[in-house]
Amino acid sequence: MIYLDNNATTRIDDEVLNAMLPYLKEAYGNASSIQHKLGRAANQAVEESRKSIAAYLGVSAKEIYFTSGATEAINMVLRGVFARYQSIGKHIITAKTEHKAVLSTLEKLEKQGAEISYLHVDASGNIDLKELESLIRKDSILITLMAANNETGVIHPIQQIGAIAAQYNVLFFSDTTQMIGKESLDLTHVDICCFSAHKLHGPKGIGGLYIKRKSRPIQIEPLITGGKQENSLRGGTYNTASIVGMGKAFEIAATNPSSIALLRDYFEIQITSSIEDCKIHAAKATRLCNTSNILFKHVRSNELMTVLKDVALSSGSACVSGDRDPSHVLTAMGIASEDALCSVRFSLSKYTNRQDLDETIQLIQQAVEKIRKNSPVWQLYKSNII
């Protein structure tokens, strides 16, 4: 199986797995039970991992908080900020291309009285900073915009966004899940960001938040209450082994910067030059080095992926992979619904090699040719009837 669905999840790194094993077998103590040796060993491992993550992000270890993943972190921030700041204002700004974890949570908050403004994006998926500034109101409490889009790879200018937010004293939260381990990240003007280990060759079920320490502390109502873990922001027993794995994944990402942009570019050139009516979405935008979202005209993505049995692909976010509707990201970019339904995401990793891509290209060529040959719609399209 050729795996090209790394924006959905990644293969765990062997070093990460090996770092985790002792905390599953020998040092299995509860990290909060510091009265005994096993608990202290687990606690030390948790704090060392916190330091590793902070070092990668260029922040203080005291600003890192652990969660079960990015979805929980997003819910914690959006719900928690609204709960604490709604007496000041109820206005939140986001974009139509955000991850469903953001959009669905904001829909819930609207029912609780939140007012949401949605930024438009252009044909390349870019936001307009002037529109962003124009949407800010006196009662705006939060701007939430991802660092990089999970479907198209389009990168937002989070430094500039954060500077605008700071100018108007509005909190800025960014989902940096797809950015980490692929591109450089500067959090100077970011108040809060979230991340998830399984997107950078770490374990599933663990993630976290960076919450900037400010002169006026950022207030977030806890989503999960219980013990006093994470300064009482997130209760529950520490998932020590997974936290250790995430720390190791961040360490590896810091010492082994991603170098797959050349492979991604090679793949796109070969695909577009060898397959008729094939287009890269957001081709001219600043994108993640590993991501290509490609339209194969009049070849439905679900049909293509069925034929490509030996290649793991996705038509978009894994969270909505069972959805038959066109991608909300692509339609927000002005792409016709039919074209959105004929688009496939390819996402590479450090384990992807040129042989994988050459084989994938050949398989796609054969699959597209087979599907189009049996497609009345394709024949009508080629005859200029539709």
Between β-strands 192-196 and 171-175, what pairing exists: parallel, antiparallel or unpaired?
A: parallel
Nearest-angstrom CA–CA distance, 196 and 9: 10
Which segments within 160-280 are labelled E, that is strand? Answer: 171-175, 192-196, 207-211, 278-280
Cβ pair 349, 260 in contact under 8 A: yes
Q: Quick one: 221 exposed, middle or buried, by C-beta within 10 A (0-12, 13-18, 19+)?
A: middle
Residues annotated as part of the active site = 319
Each residue of 77-95: b (16+ CB within 10 Å) or e? bbbbbbbebbeebbbbbbb
Nearest-angstrom CA–CA distance, 349 and 289: 9
Six token digits for residue 26: 């020998």
Side chain identity, residue 19: A
Among 253, 200, 198, which Cα is nearest to 71's? 198
